[in-house]
Structure 1
């Protein structure tokens, strides 16, 4: 009888745990956040564009000043922009915004 009552008690606890309060509130907060704020992915694209343009200007300036070994500069600016694009996609995937 003790095992049956313990089993029944555990089943009742599982049923009450299935209906957690706050899930709809969290969904509403997520929707409000997505509607009100600039998208993280869009922000990362804007920053990547700024990195790309700044890098292009600096590399062009160095090339015109006679510095012809700019391979590391090109790679650094390219990967900075690429990292920003990937980080935006990563944050979009994690937070779903």
Structure 2
């Protein structure tokens, strides 16, 4: 039994040593991959902001035509969410220097 444990431990150590990689190369590769997705992600956030803005404009217009009293509150919340998406996308892009 002791010999089996020693053999298993040796095999495990050999496999671990064979699969070891350079940590800096892995981190650099991951950084490059994330940076390559940033432009696509930023454009996606801008597109989502545009769709949210259109939906919000339609809802506000409907409330305004129906004569509801909370139109200003609804307009500011929809407009604020669009501005938030655009600002977050721009800040992330400038913060990470992409």
How far apart are the structure 1 equivalents of 2:52 and 2:28?
Answer: 35
In structure 2, do the counterparts of structure 1 residues 79 and 56 end up closer, same or farther at CA, with 3 Å as the change threshold? same
Q: Which residue of 1 aligns with 2:36?
A: 35
How far apart are the structure 1 equivalents of 2:43 and 2:78?
Answer: 19
Name the SS of the counterpart of 1:62 in structure 2: helix
- Give deviations 1:9-38, integer Å, cap 9, x for gaps: xxxxxxxxxxxx633432222222333576
Shift in Å, 1:75: 0.9
Unaligned runs of 5+ residues in structure 1 are: 1-20
Unaligned runs of 5+ residues in structure 2 are: 1-21
Shift in Å, 1:67: 1.9
Q: Which residue of 1 aligns with 2:63?
A: 62
Deviates more, 1:54-63 or 1:37-46: 37-46
> What is the number of equivalent residue pairs in this alignment?
77
Instruction: Indicate the RMSD between aligned Cα atoms, in angstroms.
Output: 2.5
Name the SS of the counterpart of 2:68 in structure 1: coil
Q: Which residue of 1 aligns with 2:50?
A: 49
In structure 2, do the counterparts of structure 1 residues 25 and 44 end up closer, same or farther at CA, with 3 Å as the change threshold? same
- State the TM-score, normalized to the length of structure 2: 0.60
How far apart are the structure 2 equivalents of 1:38 and 1:92?
Answer: 8
Please state which structure has a larger fraction of its residues in helix.
2
How far apart are the structure 1 equivalents of 2:51 and 2:94?
Answer: 23
